[in-house]
Structure 1
Amino acid sequence: MHPEGQEAVLHIVVNLFFLVVVWWSLQAFRFDVFVRNPEGAKAKMLMILVTIAISHLVSSFFLEYFQGSLMLRYLF
C-alpha cells in the first residue's frame, strides 16, 4: 500500500471516529432550550451541521498534531 493511500485511510477513519464521538457527546446537550421546535426538521439539520463542524475541527486538530509529531524526526 502506498503512503498516500495509508494517509487517506487514516483521514477517513479519524474523521468518521470523531463524527461518531461528537454525535454521541452532543446527545447530552439540550438543544430544546435554544430552538423553538426541537423535533422539527430544522432542529435536526442544525444538530447534524453542528456535529459536522465540531468533528471537523477536532479531527483536523488531531491530524495536524499527528503530522507535526511525525515531522519531529527531521529536527535532529
Structure 2
Amino acid sequence: MNSIFAYNPLLAILSHIFFIGLSFYALQAIMPEKIIKKNQVFRAQLLFILLSFAIGSAVSNFFLDISYWSGRIPTYFQ
C-alpha cells in the first residue's frame, strides 16, 4: 500500500529531471552569440539553465497530466 503512494512522486521527480535535461540538451543547438551581448557569459549560461527548467517542467507536467488523465478514462465509461 505504501509503495503506491511513493510511485507517483518518484515518477514526477524522474520525469522532471529527464525533461529538464532533455530541454537543456536541445537548447544547446541555439547559437547565443547572435542574441546575447558580448562579455555576458555567466548571464547567458544562467538564462539557458532557467529556460531549460521552464521548458522541461512544462513538458514534464504535460506528460504527467496526460498519463493521469488517460488512467482515469476507464472510470468514466463504467
What is residue 75 of structure 1 aligned with on the other side?
A: 76
In 2, the alpha carbon distance for the partners of 1:20 and 1:67 equals 22
Match of 1:9 in 2: 10
Unaligned runs of 5+ in 1: none
- Aligned-residue offset at 1:63: 0.5
How many residue pairs are counted as aligned between the two chains? 76
- Spell out, residue by residue over 1:13-53, the C-alpha distance to the aligned partner (whole angstroms, 9 max, x if none): 10011011111111111122211037611111001001100
Paired residue for 1:43? Answer: 44
The residue type equivalent to 1:2 in the other structure is S
Which is higher, the Rg of structure 1 or of structure 2? 2
Cα drift, residue 3 of structure 1 = 1.8
Partner of 2:21: 20
- Counterpart CA distance in 1 for 2:33 and 2:64 is 33
CA distance in 2, matches of 1:11, 1:56: 10
Q: Which amino acid aligns with 1:75?
A: Y
- Percent of matched pairs sharing the same residue: 26
Runs of 4 or more, structure 1, over 2 Å off, are none
Asked whether the 8 Å contact 1:32–1:38 carries over to 2, the reply is: no
Question: What is residue 62 of structure 1 aligned with on the other side?
Answer: 63
Normalising by structure 1, report the TM-score.
0.90
